[in-house]
Amino acid sequence: MAPARDRRTGFSRRRQYGVFVGYVLAIAGAVVGAALLVVSTFNPPAFAGARMGVAGLTAPVSSGLAWVVGGVAAVPEAIGTYFFVRQENVALRREREQTRALLMRARTIAYDNRRLRSLLKVRDRIAEPVVTARLVSSSASSGRRFALLNAGRWSGVRPGMAVRGPDGLVGRVVETGPNAARVMLLTDGDSIVPIRRTRDGLPAIAVGRGDGMLDVRSVNATNVKFNAGDLFVTSGVGGLYSPGIPVARVMTAGADSVMARTFANPDTFDFAVVEPGFMPVPPPRALAPSDNSAK
């Protein structure tokens, strides 16, 4: 069936109004276009002003539309960035933990190197050190203060020998085994060390308190004044400890007897140097044949 040639709008008013408005807009557009063409040809400044006026009216609308379009376009990018940043944060946290572990190892190694270098300097100052050994344990919580050294008679360690660390005197050997030795620390209640004050040579003795501290007491004098910060070293009296080994620092001022803290803390280092006695005890004298015959 051939299409109808009648293209009238029919009896629908909506359709009639739509067609009418379309014609009106088309005609109005044509008129406005013609007017603008005439103005742009014969009066360019007026056309430019009209064009800028229209641009001023449409600029906010264009800006708003651009903002909306940019926001909508940024949503996928924001989602992708979120997941990327999250993965990056996880990787950075993992890397931070690895770096922290390496930093702790580096600090530990540097600390050990400083202690070993200090101990090496101490060893170099000693004429003939017996042995350098490790302090494997110490009794820091009991009333008696002892430490265990992993070197004994096989290494030449004997009772009475002084034990010192990088910072100062640790104590003396009291018992020895084939490959171990027991060291009485300065802070033990039975430890007594002859000392002298560094600034004036005042003689004194350092007596262990059994609580990690020392009592510094004057010798053969009364009303002796001690100041906080006074430094004491071994005096060499008694023949066990060589002179000049750092022992303790006075904590509070006082007279005749004050409390002091040791320079060397066995809990803060691993290795120690065993040195021979300053004045070794001579070996027992062999009995003469006449003495044996007399018996």
Average pLDDT over residues 32-40: 70
Selected residue with higher pLDDT from 37 and 197: 197
Q: Nearest 5 degrees, angle CA 277-CA 278-CA 284?
A: 55
Selected residue with higher pLDDT from 256 and 286: 256
> pLDDT tens across 149-171, in order?
888 889 889 998 889 888 889 89
* Percent above pLDDT 90 for the chain: 9
pLDDT of 240 reads 84
Residue 294 pLDDT class (50, 70, 90 cuts): very low
> pLDDT tens across 42-86, in order?
767 766 666 666 666 666 766 666 676 666 666 666 666 666 677
Selected residue with higher pLDDT from 140 and 193: 193
- Residue 113 contacts by C-beta under 8 Å, 6 or more apart in sequence? none
pLDDT of 39 reads 64
> pLDDT tens across 171-228, in order?
999 999 898 899 999 988 889 999 989 888 889 999 998 888 899 998 877 788 899 9
Selected residue with higher pLDDT from 146 and 10: 146
Average pLDDT over residues 89-102: 76
With contact defined as beta carbons under 8 Å apart, do 154 and 178 qualify?
yes
With contact defined as beta carbons under 8 Å apart, do 251 and 220 qualify?
no
- Worst-scoring range by mean pLDDT, 39-43, 48-52, 106-110, 122-126? 122-126
pLDDT of 236 reads 83
> pLDDT tens across 235-249, in order?
888 778 888 888 999
pLDDT of 195 reads 92
Q: How far apart are CA 162 and CA 244, in angstroms?
A: 13
DSSP the chain: -PPPS----TT-HHHHHHHHHHHHHHHHHHHHHHHHHHHHHH-HHHHHHHHHHHHHHHHHHHHHHHHHHHHHHHHHHHHHHHHHHHHHHHHHHHHHHHHHHHHHHHHHHHHHHHHHHHHHHHHHHSSS--EEEEEEEE--SSSS-EEEES--GGGT--TT-EEE-SSSEEEEEEEE-SS-EEEEETTSTT-EEEEEETTT--EEEEEE-SSS-EEEEESS-SS-EE-TT-EEEE--TTSSS-TT-EEEEE-S-EESEEEEEES--GGG-SEEEEE--SSPPPPPPPPPHHHHHH-
Q: Is the pTM of this model over 0.75?
A: no
